[in-house]
Amino acid sequence: MAVKGYVDQDHIAWAVISRPERRNAWNSEVSRLLADFISKISSDEKVLGLVITGDGEYFSAGVDLREILSAGDRKKIYEIFDLARKAFESIALFEKPVVAAVNGPAYGISVELTHLVDYVIASKKASFAITGARLGLVPPISPVIGWINIGVRRASYLTISGSTITPEDALRIGLVDEIVDPDGLEDRARSIIKEISKSDPNAISTIKRVIAQHRLKDIEEGFKLIAESALREDTRKRIEDFLSKR
């Protein structure tokens, strides 16, 4: 399965992006399974919170470029990114704490995901790059609301340059909240969830609803931008050239 979802003995839910053979590239199945899992745990009062991480060495290589190329028409492209939007919305609307545990390199849409969670922990093995513009793809979150987290110039530079930054640089600009040794990533994510869950659940859900209203205000427009950019012939040519060199 592209997402391994389970609840552990501490009542913490884990969503593990699991396509290690594709460096955990984000495709429609990831979007669908993640949204379904969050919907399922939302009604479980025992669940304290959610941790999102990757299976193996990568957090995620970003959007699945091969799926984009295989989409034959506008309807299919919009369907791919509409599913991604719904998954992102489910993350933002989940009324319990959400922690991203970035276990390794994170590219593109998986970096965008960090703007919608409550806390980001990065392994020392992590790195971050929003590389879509190099291929002609417009990132759906950073230009819309991500700049609120890290500042306008930083968001602009990262998204138009596609530069890779270290976890230390990500911490400095506010993209992540802390860095840990790889072996301590899961335990630290678990402890953050437990720490937050000491607060009143009604207060947590109310605060998260208010924040989600702002996070999601323009998200539909952001995913329209990436869908439209994916339809351009020069973008598809850039993607084909990129994949041919791998």
CA–CA dist 131, 140 (Å, integer): 12
Q: With contact defined as beta carbons under 8 Å apart, do 44 and 81 qualify?
A: no
pLDDT beneath 50: ranges in the chain: none
Residue ranges covered by each domain of the chain: 3-184
DSSP state of 139: P
Helices and strands per DSSP (H, E), number in the chain: 12, 9
Pairing outcome for strands 3-7 and 49-54: unpaired
pLDDT digits (tens, 9 = 90+) for 137-161: 999 999 999 998 999 999 999 999 9
| Residues forming beta bridges with residue 52, ordered by sequence position | 15, 100
User: At residue 84, what are phi and psi to the nearest 5 degrees?
Assistant: -65, -40
Q: With contact defined as beta carbons under 8 Å apart, do 139 and 133 qualify?
A: yes
What pLDDT sits at residue 211? Answer: 94
What pLDDT sits at residue 72? Answer: 79
CA–CA dist 203, 218 (Å, integer): 25
Residues 6+ apart with CB under 8 A from 23: 57, 58, 60, 61, 105
pLDDT digits (tens, 9 = 90+) for 108-132: 999 999 999 999 999 999 999 999 9
What pLDDT sits at residue 246? Answer: 74
What pLDDT sits at residue 245? Answer: 85
* CATH code for residues 3-184: 3.90.226.10
- pTM of this structure: 0.97
Distance of CA 102 to the CA centre of its chain: 10
